[in-house]
Amino acid sequence: MMNTSAEVFAPATMANLGVGFDILGLALEEPGDIVRAELMDAPGVEIAHIEGDDGKLTRDPAKNTAGVAAASVLRLLSVDRGVRLTLFKRLPLASGLGSSAASAVAAAVAVNAILGYPFSAEQLLPAALDGEAAVSGYHADNVGPCLFGGITLVSGIESTRIRRMPIPTALHLAMVTPDIAVPTAMARSVLPATVPLRDMVRQTAAVARLIDAIYRDDVEAMAQAMESDGIIEPARAHLMPMLAEVRVAAKRAGALAVVISGAGPTLCAICDSEPHARAAAAAMQSVYDNAQIPCVSRSSRVSSRGARVLAAN
């Protein structure tokens, strides 16, 4: 039985986890995007309104991540009716928090709710990836954790290639997002075309240490592994204002490590308690405040849930 409307929350995500470029990601409890979908008699997808993007996102459903994902779900069921979308952007654009993935996932889940839940989350993955691909490429390091929740190991674009891992008990995160856009395409353009063999070996060893630490519930070892990236961070560091200063300030406040979230410029501090996470968030904020760079800081935990339906009727 179809619903006439649905509203869905999709969480922010952090891709890479430092050393796991394009293969690791996690979902945050907050913040996230919200998409409201309403059933239309006419076929197709319409984007009625976007709030919170400062007018930067297109309302062309063929070019907007939410619109593309919604259309993909409708095609899966071959329905002759359409949906009208309203996007509430709570994630900054080009911030390293999976903004495009959140909109795509929220739209896919909302349309599925309107259609009466014919598809599982696993079956919605291709539609969400279609949406993400519209602006950021066909990869699941953000879409996977956003859709399924938790910490995910992504070895492909099929649901069977996305594995959820345990969430360390004491893991807390603090983030700061300076008001500087770092589009994914820009962040990828500065990466090295080739990597020396010894660097590749060190990086794969760090990924192995990280996964081992996650399964052993060892936040300190997890943090050490995440911060040992010798390939991606060195290439991207110049895109992240005051990375070194933020790292020092966060550690003085009790953080165990600081890494770039996704493509950046959001920086994420790995902490072993809520007080340390709050203190690290404030310390990172003060670095940018003193430099007169606008920013937003927050603390959060890993969300065990991915996108969720807030209302459907």
The answer to whether residue 58 is catalytic is no
CATH of region 172-300: 3.30.70.890
Q: Residue 97: its pLDDT value, please?
A: 96
Q: Which of 65, 86, 184, 266 is catalytic?
A: 184
Does the annotation count 132 as an active-site position? Answer: yes
Tokens of 25: 């990601």
DSSP 302: B
Global pTM exceeds 0.85: yes
pLDDT of residue 183: 82
Domain ranges for the chain: 5-166, 172-300
Average pLDDT, 10 consecutive residues per value, the chain (313 residues): 93 97 96 97 95 92 96 92 96 92 98 96 97 86 97 95 97 96 86 95 98 98 97 95 97 98 96 98 98 96 97 94
pLDDT at 181: 83
Pick from 7, 14, 4, 26: nearest CA to 305:
26
Model pLDDT, residue 190: 94
Tokens of 75: 């095609």
Residue found by looking up tokens 């095609």 in the block: 75
Q: Which of 7, 132, 227, 233 is an active site residue?
A: 132
Domain 5-166: give its CATH architecture: 2-Layer Sandwich (3.30)
